[in-house]
Structure 1
Amino acid sequence: MDVDLFYVPGCEQFKDLVSRKIAATYGVQVKDRGLLPVYDRAYNPLRRQYDAYVLLDYLIRCIVSDTAVWIVDRDMYCENLNFVFGLAMYHIAAVVSTYRVPSAEMVAKEAVHEAGHVMGLQHCKNRCVMRYSESLEDALDKPSELCTSCKKTIDRKVVEPGLQM
């Protein structure tokens, strides 16, 4: 499986680190697909944020491969949440925001988390990169690696015949 990586202008500095971390974590090839400008129709002027669902839908309509991750530099939200670091649709695509994270390492960690959903992983209660983050403190506290249980789940999906990712 390959994962296509897109980014908005201004996020080019994250592409190499994000690519390496996703490739190392999931054993996939990450292909640099270049710039994909932000979709301005996703902007909600009442909230002064971008609707993550609209951005994700836009990404899905733009990709030509099976799976993709898009790095954006905009503040994103989902209904009933003040903000989100990222949003994914299982087995298809994810969008990751750099807006509220303090470092390139954190951007990579959140990209690995969202790519995990693209690989079919759900949120995990263990000390794991797949743990759900409700705040920046939660995101900072969680490790950058998969737990043993999630690694086994990914390994099974890769080697078991008939399973699709």
Structure 2
Amino acid sequence: MDLLRFKQESTSDFPANKKLKDRLRRVKPKKLDEDFAQLHEDVFDELDCLDCANCCKTTSPIFLQTDIDRLAKVFRMKSSEFLDEYLHRDEEGDFVLNSSPCPFLGTDNKCLVYEDRPKACREYPHTNRKNIHGILALSLKNTLVCPAVHKIFQQIGKDYRK
């Protein structure tokens, strides 16, 4: 995956994708969920996250207390020690990683804590969930991070960019 080229393309496409996001708000929620779910399946049949891992290299998931407790147990640490070593509160008050790339990302782009990864990582990029209307702003932002989300927007734009 050529991440530099992806960054250039996704940045260039962002203004059009922002307009598309506003148009998608007018699509019936159930129809939009179905369209996104189908495109999610199609795109992930073609793309392999292990070829990219841009999300793990550039952003942080939000860590819930259950995530912190689970990972602390994996590392045989107290939750407070895990917090001190790996996390801080962002401007919204959420727990996020201290640095990028993720300290649990291996050189082969595999997650070293995959079975115990945070809920946000399990659900990313959120394009196959219900109520896409509720996360259109997040999905738009993710077009700059995830090549799959960018491709989903390109595909759905063919139907809704009128």
Please state which band the TM-score falls in when normalised by the shorter chain.
under 0.3
| TM-score, normalization by structure 2 | 0.25
Q: Which structure's CA Rg is the greater one?
A: 2
Q: Which has the higher helix share?
A: 2
| TM-score, normalization by structure 1 | 0.25
Q: Which has the higher strand share?
A: 1
